[in-house]
Amino acid sequence: MSHTPLSDLVRQGWQVVSYSVTDSSGETWHHNFLLARNSQHKVLTVRKKMLGDGVVTTEMEV
């Protein structure tokens, strides 16, 4: 998995439409990006791994 998932998606032509951050029970911050490309939309959620280095990402088509 890439250490720069947002940069990878922007290189593929996705645009950041909106951004928000949430605190997950005081443990980790979840950074949420709404992305758009050619009338497609997806939400990218990025958070730091609980153990070890790197990030965990999830993508959801909307």
Q: How many domains does the chain have?
A: 1
**Number of residues in the chain:** 62
pLDDT value of position 15:
98
Domain that holds residue 34: 5-61
Place of tokens 């947002």: 6
28-37 and 40-48: which strand pairing? Answer: antiparallel
pLDDT of residue 37: 97
**What is this structure's pTM?**
0.86
Give per-residue pLDDT as tens, 3-62.
789 999 999 999 999 999 998 777 789 999 999 999 999 999 999 888 888 889 999 999
* Single-letter amino acid, residue 59: E
